[in-house]
Amino acid sequence: MIEYERLLNYPIPEVRQRLTRRDAVFYALSVGLGQDPMDRRQLDYVDADRVLRVLPSMPVVLAHPGFWVAHPDTGVDAVKVVHGEQSITLHAPLPAEGEVIGRTRVTGLVDKGEGKGALLYSEKELRDAGGRLLAVTGSTTFLRGDGGFGGPPGPVKPVNPVPETEPDMVVDLPTRPEQALYYRLNGDDNPLHADPEVAARAGFPRPILHGLCTLGVVAHALLRVLGDYEAGAMRSLSLRFSAPVFPGETIRTEIWRGGAFRARVVERDVVVVNNGAAVFA
């Protein structure tokens, strides 16, 4: 059972990570870059022998505190945890190597009521060893099994509207059947993405792709058409996860001029990311 004040002030340990060029390459590969061996622009992110660029979505895995909500003293039913929303704001170029420091804290907790779950808002500041702010990531976690603990019913973050017109650009990117197994090596080892029995207990027919891996695929699509693969062109993005992706499916990102976007799985025609907003230089 969740204790409101305890979870709101839960001491999430600071994480220091020694980032290497190999880490940057692995992250890019884990979200699907490099599948077209003839696209030299993608090689800038996956070939460590080049002047390596770092994907602007990588802050979500850097100095990651791990699946901390699964600790028994949080009171959270970890099997029923689902990633609801994610944002990234970039403040400085991301290094390909060197120490990075992540400080994560809970910023809000919303009780939607008995049987309706709860929302946990958290934020991570990512800095380099000298203290320079590199990025801030924000996350909304849907605690499906934890409503009715007596917490406040709001405030709930507003969503970004998506135009009702047809998108101006569409990018289809495939995922691989084993992609979740690669992606979890970035530090998100939730068994929901690897163990069929855990997935079944959570109500899924098989392990699902990490929401942040879906974000990486979508960020790749945005970087391709709005940033021409220039890593520094992206300033921010935010999105809402609306349905799971199963590894092996194709993610179609629909993009409007101005930075609004959503994504759907081609094979099932299901919207998996909605209310997206991206800012590019």
Contacts of 9 (CB under 8 A, 6+ apart): 106
Catalytic residue among 193, 195, 220, 228: 193
Catalytic residue among 23, 44, 146, 188: 188
Per-residue model confidence (pLDDT) at position 66: 86
CATH C-level class of 4-280: alpha beta
One pLDDT digit (tens) per residue for the chain, 281 residues: 899 999 999 999 999 999 999 999 999 999 999 998 889 899 999 997 878 999 999 999 999 998 899 999 999 998 888 889 999 999 999 999 999 999 999 999 999 999 999 999 999 999 999 999 999 999 999 999 999 999 999 999 998 999 999 999 999 999 999 999 999 999 888 888 999 999 998 889 999 999 999 999 999 999 999 999 999 999 999 999 999 999 999 999 999 999 999 999 999 999 999 999 999 99
Closest CA to 173 of 227, 245, 247, 252: 252
Per-residue model confidence (pLDDT) at position 187: 84
**172 noted as active-site residue:** no
User: Whole-model pTM?
Assistant: 0.93
Per-residue model confidence (pLDDT) at position 109: 97
**193 noted as active-site residue:** yes
Report the C-alpha gap between 157 and 4 in whole angstroms: 19
> Looking at beta carbons, which pairs linking 268-271 to residues 24 or more positions away fall under 8 Å?
270/243, 271/242, 271/243
Per-residue model confidence (pLDDT) at position 261: 98
Tokens 């403040």, residue located = 91
What are the residue boundaries of the structural domains of the chain, listed by start?
A: 4-280
Q: What angle do CA 166, 236, 91 make, to 5 degrees?
A: 165
Per-residue model confidence (pLDDT) at position 188: 83
